């Protein structure tokens, strides 16, 4: 019983991290749109692509981890969720550091 409850708790906490990643990406979209408006410009097509990618990526990887984890043991599901959120974090950090901020603006 303890294993089942702990697996659900860990899985829920990992799902909350996916939610946080998607929420942060939405905040980035809103913030960059506001910054573009304050600068008197708009977001470029490349900027929209990167910002939308940041929103869609956690949702897609969570869905992929859940689909791959179907009909598997709880440990494997938790491992897949952990790997997925790790990939999301790495890609978001890479996007933040490798893409120059000036490329977001038209």
pLDDT tens digits for range 13-25 = 999 999 999 999 9
- What does pTM read for this prediction? 0.86
pLDDT at 74: 86
Which residues, given as ranges, of the chain have pLDDT below 50?
none
Distance of CA 62 to the CA centre of its chain: 9
Residue-wise burial string across 64-84, b where 16 or more C-beta atoms lie within 10 A, e elsewhere? ebbeebeeeeeeebbebbeeb
pLDDT at 88: 94
Work out the mean pLDDT of the chain and round it to a whole number.
91
């Amino acid at each position: 019983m303890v294993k089942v409850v702990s697996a659900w708790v860990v899985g829920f906490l990992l799902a909350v991290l996916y939610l946080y990643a998607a929420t942060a990406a939405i905040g980035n979209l809103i913030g960059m749109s506001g910054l573009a408006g304050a600068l008197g410009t708009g977001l470029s097509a490349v900027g929209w692509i990167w910002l939308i990618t940041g929103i869609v990526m956690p949702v897609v990887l969570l869905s992929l981890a859940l689909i791959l984890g179907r009909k598997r043991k709880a440990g494997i599901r938790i491992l897949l969720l952990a790997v997925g959120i790790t990939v999301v974090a790495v890609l978001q950090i890479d996007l933040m550091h490798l893409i120059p901020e000036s490329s977001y603006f038209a």
